[in-house]
Amino acid sequence: MSLGMICALGSAVCFGTASVLQAVATRATAPGTGSGVDPALLLRAAR
């Protein structure tokens, strides 16, 4: 039971950290720099 709670807490911390880092990276890119979605990358990732 306590191992499950520790794992849940750890994953919540990791999820929150990832959200903050993603927001920082999004604000750091200048608009219109071509940093959109790359269709070729999506196709390669789907395979």
Query: Tens of pLDDT along 13-45?
Result: 999 999 999 999 888 876 766 667 778 888 898
* Integer Cα distance of 28 and 24 in angstroms: 6
Judge contact between 33 and 26, C-beta under 8 A.
no
pLDDT at 1: 83
Whether 17 and 9 have beta carbons less than 8 Å apart is answered as no
Main-chain dihedrals φ then ψ at residue 16, nearest 5 degrees: -65, -40
pTM for the predicted model, two decimal places: 0.60
Place of tokens 């950290």: 17
35 close to 29: Cβ distance less than 8 angstroms? yes
